[in-house]
A and B are shown apart, each in its own frame.
Chain A
Amino acid sequence: MPLGDTWQGYSPEQLLLERFRITTGFHAGQREIIEQLAQSKRILAIQRTGWGKSLCYQVASLYYPHLTLVFSPLKALMRDQCQRCNDAYAIVAAIVSSDFSDEENRATLEQAIAGNLKILFLAPERLNNLLWQSYVQKMRISMIVIDEAHCISTWGHDFRPDYRRIVRLVQALPARMPILALTATANRRVEDDILQQIGSITQVMRGTMQRPNLYLNVETQSGDLAKLGYLAAILPHIPGSGIVYTTTRHDAEMVAAFLQQQGVSADYYHAGRGDDMRQALEQGLMANRYKVICSTNALGMGIDKPDIRFVIHYQIPASPIHYYQEMGRAGRDGKVAWCVLLYDPADLEIQRHFIESAKPAGRHYDAVLALLRAAPQGMGLYDVMLATGLPQTAVRNILADLEEQGFLEHDAKKRQHRATRSLGQVDYMAYDILREQKLQELHGMRDYTQCNGCYMEYLTTYLGDEPDSACRSCGHCRPSNFPGIRPSERTLVTTAHFLEEDFLPRIEKRGTKTETAHEAGWALAYHSKSRLGKMVRASKYEEAGPFALHLVYRAVEVIRARYPIAEINGIVSVPPTRSGALVETFARQVAAQLDIAYLSALVKVRTTREQKECTNWRQKSKNVEGAFAVRAPEQIAGRTLLLIDDIYDSGYMLREIGQILMQAGVLAVYPFAITKTAHSDDQ
């Protein structure tokens, strides 16, 4: 049937069966939405994840002769839906996005104006694209779909300014054009806001957010030892495959490494892994080749696996809405699935840090603007970081916001920011409000962990359901669903061993593309969380004496096991900031044990501050620039050295030293630190 015609004569059920080959029929509500759309009405559909919102517009599109435009915020979402339209439903669909070249997008747009496409997916940012702008004028459009419509609302958890443009378009479109707005996460306030924006002629069709087949629970577990022990104990008892969500990439890697060691088929997933790898992991998960994928929230969008049997959160997520979406990926097939949140109050800090960085306190905005107003020639990002000491993400966000408010202009070529002539004060009220809102949401998440009643009811009420019924399956409604499984002593021992011995913190190789400063290496443990870290702090800051011999022996063990010991023929150490020979003594002891020469080759040529006094990487980098020199180059030229320090933080110290060693003719520098700090201050 040519695309220009419609399936007007067919009922939705006929279409579902004959065209979509779905034999299970519609949910209550799906049919209603399709009918309304076919009559050119406007609808806001608020339905839980997995309900089948997309099917509504896919069926409805067939009742119209021309194009259906679908606005979506994420390419992964678009890819998923587009593929389903083409492969499963034989609906000709395409995407214009930055995933494709200009030629490919042009070809797609040609198809659109020729009337050969039924559904076209695009992100609202695409509206700025010149190619799009010229082609859209020739398009004939029957229907518009706004996916993830909560992005329209500043009250929602994922407001996107470009969605405001979609709202303006919708307000201007002829009343006879059908419009479908879809979302799974809109509480009453967000719902009202959306309606106010896209017009009161819109009908709302809200379904319950309850997911009766999901069993929710919260486990309070402090620290990695307890959490990993818990995972080791519980996973053998849950059938099928699932996801462990972590807040940081590092934790995703660590949990995966631990589970692998426990004999569980696991791997890690985050935005830092290459595209090919990520695709392979997604496919592996779909084909049940893994028991667990440990991931940041990078995994999920576009994964439509019906039989995810568990979603475990290793750390508390940012808000109940994020939690609802993430755990909501479990049990799409309607069968029982387990959603457990491991709650450690200390984890609230990480989320708070992200919130503060995204929209820093008002006084920081004032400080940055005052700085730039006093520097008419302009300043670069790094200069601002140096002067203010604020984390890089915070500075970036502040500069972007100030530019948006017209106080700064940005010279992209010279990478300078300059104050404009615009007078007046920064309006950070909006940012304060946003930050407060996010903090509120975080507290909402914390309250979930502390609630005494039904967990599912808490979440669904938060999302706008009327509070009516307990779910009868969560850890509070039916504790017997969650028998207390505790890790055995043996498990705890192997877990402790893993944390202290096997999953050593890595020191990444540093340098430029052409010149390496130092190779990769290791530290013995994380600074703040470990026993070893405590020992280091005791010696360094609490006058407990030289670094304990235990540390020396551990270091020697690790160096023998992991470093190219045959090539290393010299050991150097980082000169101290203040007086004291802690590191040198330590290094000499290690050298003695390894029977390799210790060389006092490095000197400090100027004083530096303690690196930990510097609050961002720019300051740390500046702090150590040119602070060191090689005493006698002939002593070290041609050698392969082991470079020892006590604490590895931002890495600028070691990089600086690595560089001057290499310049002095050293063949390679292998770094070693006793401890490493857990989070880099800023990216």
Chain B
Amino acid sequence: MGGLAIYFEEEGLATTQISLIRIHTERTQPPRALWVPYELGRPIGVPNDPAFQKRVMMAAFDLLDAPEGPLIVDYPEEIPDGAGEMDEDAMTGMVCPIDLPKPPNATAPASAIGKALLQEVASLAPWYELAVNRRGRTTVGPSGMTIDACGKALAAFLDGGAAPEARDGIPAQRVLKLAYEDLKAYYGEAITAQPGYSTSKQVEDWLFNETVLGKALWTLRDLCLEHEDEYFRYLGTNSIVPDRQIHPPD
């Protein structure tokens, strides 16, 4: 990020930036940076809190008045407890949380996981639709496949290693990645429509430890790590299960 700022300034454009990883900004030394104490993925702080977001942005814009740099300023406002939780109005009309199908046990064949996955995807549909209606948008879609097709693509790979077909210059491995990322987005949007899932860690712990999709992704990771193809091994190493699930902090 800091490197981009330097390129833009060299082109005659003034820059100010948000910093998430302070040591990277310290090493690059862009002209103006506001370090924020927020988790990766949420550089402006709190979703659906315009006032909070504007305060962060104003602090970044204020750096444009500094007489000289480079400078890194620490932004002091922490995420308030309970931020992002829905209020009672937003929950009006909600039904009780649904029971998801029980994930197959540890010794279940991959084919059983695939079948249960499709059932689970269907059972989450009401919550997903509620989320889309409330937010007026969805982030599901980069795969270009329906969510059922995403589930079937993942299930098919687990069942016998058949990767989805490459398309539009996108290799099969990347198509598979886009499919399971769409599934993760579908689950994330659905579960955050329910009360009690306001933090990313809550959602992640649920997805990777309590759902069939989580079981499928752990299984996919194992398959990819042992795959003969380098791209699949790369996916298994870096790009299926988050590092904090593989190596939980002490």
A and B from one complex: no
Binding site for A on B (CB under 8 A): none
